[in-house]
Amino acid sequence: MNEMYEMSLWLHEAGVLFLLLVFLGSLWQLQRADEMIVYLRKMRIQSPMIMMLMFTPIFTGMVMMAAKHLEFTIANIVMIILSIVLIVFEVKRSKPLKFATIAEEGAFEKYKKDATSILVAEIALIIMISLWMYL
The domain tally of the chain equals 1
CA distance to 17, 21, 84, 109, per residue, from 88 (Å): 20, 19, 6, 22
Which among 34, 48, 59 is positioned nearest to 90, based on CA atoms?
A: 48
Domain boundaries, position 38:
2-134
Q: Is the dihedral of CA 15, 17, 21, 24 positive or negative?
A: positive
pTM more than 0.75: yes
φ and ψ of 133, to 5 deg: -75, -30
Cβ atoms 87, 118 nearer than 8 A: no
pLDDT 10s digits, 35-59:
888 888 888 889 889 999 999 999 9
Average pLDDT, the chain: 88
Asked if pLDDT for residue 114 goes beyond 90, the answer is yes
Task: Count how many residues are written for the chain.
Answer: 135
